Structure 1
Amino acid sequence: MAECEIPRENLPDPEIKELLQRAQTIAVVGVSHKEDRDSHKVARYLKEHGYTMIPVNPKYKEVLGEPCYPDLKSVPVPVDIVNIFRNIEAIPGIVDEAIDVGAKAVWMQLGLCHNASAEKARQAGMQVVMNKCIKIEHSRHFATHKE
């Protein structure tokens, strides 16, 4: 398995906060239906905090009561943030799909970084966050007591 690179460039804090404020629809790629998995906890958190959370995983028909799609191309609505919970080798393909569907941002979860894909996404006009947890960043910027 490839190791996480060090992000050469990341979205600054004020822009992360603005991205989280502006976003409405977040596709969680690689979400699990298992409640103890981080991807499931993050998806539930996003849903509980008012986002339209779209599960993306070809293994499931539904996650957290939402229809689950096999890939980003199958998602029937525009996506603001593509939140990635897949192995590093899968990132280039996911970023290509995110560009194809016109997503506004790509968010690689804690432990995930792919500088070449990040640069490609930026060239396509997308915002990119790497090696950060969207749940941690959201709770840090919008201090809530709901878990």
Structure 2
Amino acid sequence: MSDDTTVRKILQDSGDTWAVVGLSNNTARAAYGVARVLQRAGKRVVPVHPKAETVLGEPGYATLADIPFAVDVVDVFVNSALAGAVADQAVAKGAKAVWFQLDVIDQEAYARTTAAGLDMVMDRCPAIELPRL
């Protein structure tokens, strides 16, 4: 489901605007650390969280639909039970790819998302994958 070719394509070729769903100013959360790594790699990180906080210098939005510009990749830091709905929202938003973080797995969401033409990775972390490229 998450082959190295797809990982590389998303990280290198899918675009530089990443919506990070679940990103807040809580520096102890994995989403914050991963977002910093993505920024250092040249990605624009867009926080998506119900609080719609500004995080790492980028204004936040409560939902993907609230973002007033195109998003290339949707990086998902919510539990597996909620992740499928986020993947569906990413398809509706017109994203090119969806990335489910470590331990976030939803086979049905994967099938729907890839059937819609998006690339998708599950149960991996871009902060771990970037140095491997």
Normalized against structure 2, the TM-score is what? Answer: 0.94
Is 1:21–2:3 an aligned residue pair? no
- Name the amino acid aligned to 2:4: D
Q: In 2, distance between residues paired with 1:140 and 1:61?
A: 31
Displacement of 1:87 in angstroms is 1.2
Q: Give secondary structure in 2 for the equivalent of 1:121.
A: helix
The residue number in structure 1 matching 2:36 is 44
Q: Give secondary structure in 1 for the equivalent of 2:99.
A: strand
Displacement of 1:60 in angstroms is 3.5
Is 1:32–2:24 an aligned residue pair? yes
Displacement of 1:32 in angstroms is 2.5
The residue number in structure 2 matching 1:91 is 83
The residue number in structure 2 matching 1:78 is 70
Displacement of 1:14 in angstroms is 2.5
- Name the amino acid aligned to 2:103: G
Displacement of 1:61 in angstroms is 2.4
- Superposed structure 1 runs of 4+ greater than 2 Å apart: none
The residue number in structure 2 matching 1:5 is none
2:110 to 110, 118, 139: 118
- Name the amino acid aligned to 1:136: I
- What is the percent sequence identity of the aligned residues? 38
Q: Kindly tell me the number of residue pairs found equivalent between the two proteins.
A: 132
Normalized against structure 1, the TM-score is what? Answer: 0.85
User: Any gaps of 5 or more consecutive residues in structure 2?
Assistant: none
Q: Give the superposed CA RMSD.
A: 1.1
Q: In 1, distance between residues paired with 2:67 and 2:126?
A: 20
Larger radius of gyration: 1
